[in-house]
Structure 1
Amino acid sequence: MTHAEPEKSDDLLDRLKLGDKQAYEKIYFTYSNELLLAAYKKTGDKVIAEELVQNIFISLWEKRQEAVINNLQAYLFGALKLSVINHVRSLVMENKYMEYQTLTYSENHQDTTNLVDLHDLSSIIEEGINSLPEKTQEVFRLSRYQHQSTKDISAGLNISEKAVEYHITRSIKRIKEYIKNFYIFL
């Protein structure tokens, strides 16, 4: 064989199987640019393309003795195709995981935020109730917390139903103002 005559891939494969590093380098220099270009076209990312091609050649060296290779070029491009598919698949899974994490965080954050807001609102309402006169507080609590009717509150406190309605209306109005002023203050 002369230098002008290209080495046959069968000869390179036989030498590769025996651990000949020069045969491995010859395969690398013969196919790496073509594989890199194809990988770049598929991924659109030079770094990813280089990594995929590098992994193919690492795998070729590591599996050189047990790999059944009939056509070296077909083997290498087939390996590239599988690598690109696996890369895309991993990106899809990573994106799905990120979407899941974002959604889960958002829902958990929203639940936590809602609980905090509800707690804050309950505290503000309680402060508003405590700012009312004692009798109005009592009527409001019986009406809204113990769900007693106007008639029952009237009988229990020995006041008129009109007075009960007055206290409830007054308390609701004052609590709304208290909440409004609190949020304006914030």
Structure 2
Amino acid sequence: MLTDKEGLDPDFLLLKTDDVLAYELIYNKYAKLLLRHAFHKTSDKIVAEELVQNIFISLWENRQKLEVVNGQSYLFSALRFSIINHYRSLVVQNKYEDYIKVNAPITEDTASRNFEEKELSQQVELALNHLPEKTQEVFRLSRMQHQSNKEISSKLNISEKAVEYHITQSLKWLRQFLKKGVLFLFL
């Protein structure tokens, strides 16, 4: 086992060396605590799971740059910022919905609604086309064909964790892509 380098958390120090077992150890040690805390703050199991999953994805992606002294403090701080960002995005979404309510005509006809739905579908397709092929495929199977992670895992011969990763990446990308489109409405 590596010794503490400048007081760094030994588990995170191992993680810097691309040690998958260290990553699993950190996940097993903190995931339930983080999930419980995220659920307490959001009251939404799906949102809590997504926030925690994004933290662990980010942890793995940035593992070589990290200088973590206290793993628990680091992860809970990351979760705190994720929760804040989640609520900020809800505020933007609510402002957009209020804007639409105020500026939408009082009577919406079916043709107008169909046009908006078609336009949104086109925007989603455009956003998806910017993603890697596997991520697109996983997203379509999950969200458009309503297959479970287990079914997708079996069909594509990838792990369920990989399925979760692809779904999270696509949702994150769609959120960013569509948010940019929404912001143009206010400019």
Quickly name the TM-score band, shorter chain normalised: 0.5 to 0.7
1:59-74 mapped onto 2 (5 Å cutoff): 59-74=58-73
Counterpart in 2 of 1:19?
Answer: 18
Per-residue CA distance 1:62-121 (angstroms, 9 max, x = gap): 001112211110000000000000000000100000100111103797xxxxxxxxxxxx
Counterpart in 2 of 1:42?
Answer: 41
Per-residue CA distance 1:125-180 (angstroms, 9 max, x = gap): xxxxxxxxxxxxxxxxxxxxxxxxxxxxxxxxxxxxxxxxxxxxxxxxxxxxxxxx
Instruction: Write the distance in 1 (CA, Å) between the matches of 2:24 and 2:41.
Output: 25
Q: Unmatched 5+ residue regions in structure 2?
A: 2-7, 109-187
TM normalised by structure 2 equals 0.52
- Report the secondary structure of 2:104's partner residue: helix
How many pairs does the alignment contain? 103
The letter for the 2-side match of 1:29 is N
User: Which structure: greater helix fraction?
Assistant: 1
Instruction: Write the distance in 2 (CA, Å) between the matches of 1:41 and 1:93.
Output: 22
Q: Unmatched 5+ residue regions in structure 1?
A: 2-8, 110-186
Instruction: Write the distance in 1 (CA, Å) between the matches of 2:62 and 2:50.
Output: 18
* Alpha carbons 2:9, 2:68 under 8 Å: kept: no
- Report the secondary structure of 2:73's partner residue: helix
Q: Greater relative contact order: 1 or 2 (C-alpha under 8 angstroms, separation 6 or more)?
A: 2
Instruction: Write the distance in 1 (CA, Å) between the matches of 2:38 and 2:9.
Output: 25
Counterpart in 1 of 2:56?
Answer: 57
Q: Give the aligned CA root-mean-square deviation in angstroms.
A: 2.0
Question: After the TM superposition, which parts of structure 1 deviate over 6 Å for at least 4 consecutive aligned residues?
Answer: none
TM normalised by structure 1 equals 0.52
